[in-house]
């Protein structure tokens, strides 16, 4: 009787340990989105080669995932909704990718390319922080829900966290002068086709002003101050080299230029959109 009790106790302990380990593994595995609506998640069941050229994440659309979608998005946690969702959702059972090359196949079976940070984001309105292309496309995803940007970004981030971390760091470390700046009336910020008087646009490698543009050859940072050297053109003519000192203070840009020996300073405000 005593032996039986000890065996039962051991079985219970081992069973509890296995259950706990399974629970911890499932919790560590987590979920990943396959769509933009609430509850559109699948459960990660295995990861291999993360951050390598042969990265794979195996997933499964579980009953719990379907119940979450029915409850959180449809407001119908019934068994019939769960069964219908399990039947209707059609996705791949894995995400695969070559992390160093930034290539991956998402859960929809589409071939995608993660091309790193979009450094000019603040200079070009309505653009996302990172560049993700569908195979063969010339334009990267625009960041809207309809484009699938957030879903693809999260799938790639989970597959290749090291590559994403480097891109995230590069984005946060980009020059602070990048953006659209106005001097008097913020209405000029709304003109997305031309550059009206009173508006300056600084990109990572280009400056655009009224009837002129410059290629930024170098940008040396010293805290919030930048010394930039540029080669400029205006109205089809070469204007020669230009040197400016830019200092960013919150939403203000102090721009110092020189006309011969005389230095001139102007203060601009970052466009709110």
Question: Which pLDDT does position 237 carry in this prediction?
Answer: 76
Residues 196 and 230 in one domain: yes
Q: Is residue 18 part of a domain?
A: no
Q: Is residue 5 part of a domain?
A: no
Q: Is residue 261 part of a domain?
A: yes
Number of domains within the chain? 2
112 Cβ contact partners less than 8 Å away, ≥ 6 residues apart: 103, 104, 105, 106, 132, 133, 134, 135, 152, 156
- Final residue belonging to a domain, choices 133, 149, 172: 172
Contact at 8 Å (CB) between 30 and 42? no
Which token pair is 176?
Answer: 């602070």
Q: Is residue 3 part of a domain?
A: no
Q: Which domain holds residue 206?
A: 179-270
Residues 165 and 207 in one domain: no
Residues 210 and 110 in one domain: no
Which neighbouring-strand residues pair with 221?
226
Q: Which residues of the chain have pLDDT under 50?
A: 1-28
pTM to 2 decimals? 0.81
Residues 168 and 186 in one domain: no
* Alpha helices for 50-134 (secondary structure H): 63-69, 79-88
Question: Which pLDDT does position 273 carry in this prediction?
Answer: 74
Residues 161 and 212 in one domain: no
- Final residue belonging to a domain, choices 172, 196, 223: 172
* CA gap 177, 141 in Å, rounded: 24
The SS3 of residue 268 is strand
* CA gap 101, 103 in Å, rounded: 6
Question: Which pLDDT does position 19 carry in this prediction?
Answer: 36
Residues 161 and 187 in one domain: no
- pLDDT per residue as tens digits for the range 23-79: 333 334 599 999 999 999 999 999 999 999 999 999 999 999 999 999 999 999 999
Q: Is residue 24 part of a domain?
A: no
Question: Which pLDDT does position 8 carry in this prediction?
Answer: 41
Tell me the CA distances in angstroms from 170 to 117, 126, 142, 153, 177, one per residue in order: 7, 20, 20, 16, 15
Q: Is residue 23 part of a domain?
A: no
Residues 120 and 39 in one domain: yes
Classify strands 41-48 and 225-234 as parallel, antiparallel or unpaired.
unpaired
- Final residue belonging to a domain, choices 172, 200, 220: 172
Question: Which pLDDT does position 29 carry in this prediction?
Answer: 59
Question: Which pLDDT does position 260 carry in this prediction?
Answer: 65
Structure-derived torsion over alpha carbons of residues 56, 112, 148, 45, reported in degrees to the nearest 10: -10
* CA gap 175, 171 in Å, rounded: 9
Residues 50 and 119 in one domain: yes
Residues 41 and 137 in one domain: yes
Q: Is residue 1 part of a domain?
A: no
Residues 208 and 162 in one domain: no
Question: Which pLDDT does position 191 carry in this prediction?
Answer: 84
**Residue pointed to by tokens 């602070």:** 176
Residues 52 and 152 in one domain: yes
Residues 33 and 168 in one domain: yes
Q: Is residue 206 part of a domain?
A: yes
210 Cβ contact partners less than 8 Å away, ≥ 6 residues apart: 195, 196, 197, 199
């Amino acid at each position: 009787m005593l032996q039986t009790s000890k065996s039962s106790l051991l079985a219970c302990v081992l069973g509890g340990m296995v259950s706990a380990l399974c629970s911890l593994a499932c919790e560590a595995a987590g979920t990943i989105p396959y769509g933009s609506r609430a509850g559109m998640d699948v459960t990660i069941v295995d990861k291999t080669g993360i951050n390598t050229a042969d990265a794979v994440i195996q997933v499964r659309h579980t009953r719990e995932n379907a119940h979450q979608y029915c409850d959180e998005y449809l407001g119908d946690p019934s068994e019939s909704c769960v069964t219908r969702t399990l039947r209707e959702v059609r996705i791949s059972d894995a995400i695969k990718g070559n992390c160093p090359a930034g290539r991956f196949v998402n859960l929809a079976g589409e071939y995608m390319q993660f091309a790193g940070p979009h450094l000019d984001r603040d200079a070009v309105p309505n653009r996302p922080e990172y560049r993700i292309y569908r195979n063969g496309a010339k334009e990267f995803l625009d960041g809207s829900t309809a484009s699938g940007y957030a879903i693809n970004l999260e799938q790639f981030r989970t597959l290749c966290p090291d590559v994403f971390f480097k891109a995230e760091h590069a984005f946060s470390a980009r020059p602070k002068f990048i953006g659209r700046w106005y001097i008097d009336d913020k209405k000029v910020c709304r003109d997305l086709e031309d550059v009206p008087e009173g508006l300056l646009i600084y990109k990572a490698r280009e400056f655009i002003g009224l009837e002129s543009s410059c290629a930024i050859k170098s940008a040396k940072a010293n805290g919030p101050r930048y010394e930039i050297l540029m080669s400029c053109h205006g109205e089809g003519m070469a204007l020669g080299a230009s040197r400016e000192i830019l200092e960013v203070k919150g939403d203000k840009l102090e721009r110092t230029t020189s006309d011969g020996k005389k230095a001139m300073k102007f203060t601009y405000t970052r466009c709110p959109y």
